[in-house]
């Protein structure tokens, strides 16, 4: 992690783009057309597979170290840790709804919209809070050893959108992201 704060910012920016792409698919409901449920599932699956298993655990370690240096932030940092768990649960609920639809189940539109809105709003607010309150403080307080602990919190896991055996699965998602930039 040459510059962990820059990497953190970059990942948050990427996640925001994915959430915006998901929002665009939900907005398709207003046109009366069928959203691209497969793309939506890929977005949510990627966010569950990467952020919930790699990005958030690393943040949790950074928060633990930051709380040691800044006890005045302990409650804020614990809330952010709690939000990681809520985001994971909301993401899993949305993924299950999308998998059911793709599997042929009839799911009321309001159920899809509610699951997606919960995920989108919670995740977007969470990223904003981290960017606003946490990153600059972590940059000031954490030591190189702390950042090494953050980096090694999850090892041997590559971003599935870029590397690994799941590369083929995310081909369309990568194409859609490229179109958005």
- Domain spans of the chain? 4-180
What are the backbone dihedrals phi and psi of residue 143, each rounded to the nearest 5 degrees, phi first? -90, 165
Give the pLDDT confidence score for residue 138 in this predicted structure: 95
Give the pLDDT confidence score for residue 168 in this predicted structure: 63
Q: What architecture is the 4-180 domain classified under in CATH?
A: Up-down Bundle (1.20)
Rounded to two decimals, the pTM is 0.87
Give the pLDDT confidence score for residue 162 in this predicted structure: 54
Contacts 24+ apart (CB under 8 A), 141-145: 141/65, 141/66, 141/69, 141/70, 142/4, 142/62, 142/65, 142/66, 142/69
State the distance between the two ends of the chain, measured CA to CA, in whole angstroms.
25
Give the pLDDT confidence score for residue 133 in this predicted structure: 84
The rounded distance, in Å, linking the Cα atoms of 45 and 172 is: 13
The angle formed by the CA atoms of residues 148, 91 and 59, to the nearest 5 degrees, is 15
Each of the 181 residues of the chain gets a pLDDT tens digit; together they read 468 899 899 889 989 999 999 999 999 988 989 999 999 999 999 999 888 888 899 999 999 999 999 999 999 999 999 999 999 999 999 999 999 999 999 999 999 999 999 999 999 999 999 999 899 999 999 999 999 999 888 876 656 555 544 556 666 776 676 666 5
Give the pLDDT confidence score for residue 45 in this predicted structure: 92
């Amino acid at each position: 992690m040459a510059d962990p704060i820059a990497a953190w910012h970059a990942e948050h920016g990427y996640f925001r783009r994915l959430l915006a792409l998901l929002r665009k698919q939900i907005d398709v409901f207003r046109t009366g057309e069928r959203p691209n449920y497969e793309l939506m599932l890929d977005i949510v699956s990627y966010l569950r597979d990467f952020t919930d298993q790699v990005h958030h655990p690393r943040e949790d370690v950074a928060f633990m170290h930051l709380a040691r240096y800044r006890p005045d932030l302990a409650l804020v940092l614990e809330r952010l840790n709690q939000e990681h768990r809520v985001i994971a649960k909301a993401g899993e609920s949305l993924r299950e709804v999308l998998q059911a639809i793709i599997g042929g189940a009839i799911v009321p539109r309001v159920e899809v919209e509610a699951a997606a809105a919960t995920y989108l709003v919670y995740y977007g607010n969470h990223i904003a809070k981290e960017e606003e309150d946490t990153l600059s403080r972590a940059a000031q307080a954490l030591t190189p050893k702390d950042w090494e602990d953050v980096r090694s919190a999850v090892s041997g896991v590559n971003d599935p959108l870029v590397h690994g055996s799941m590369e083929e699965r995310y081909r369309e998602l990568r194409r859609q992201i490229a179109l958005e930039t």
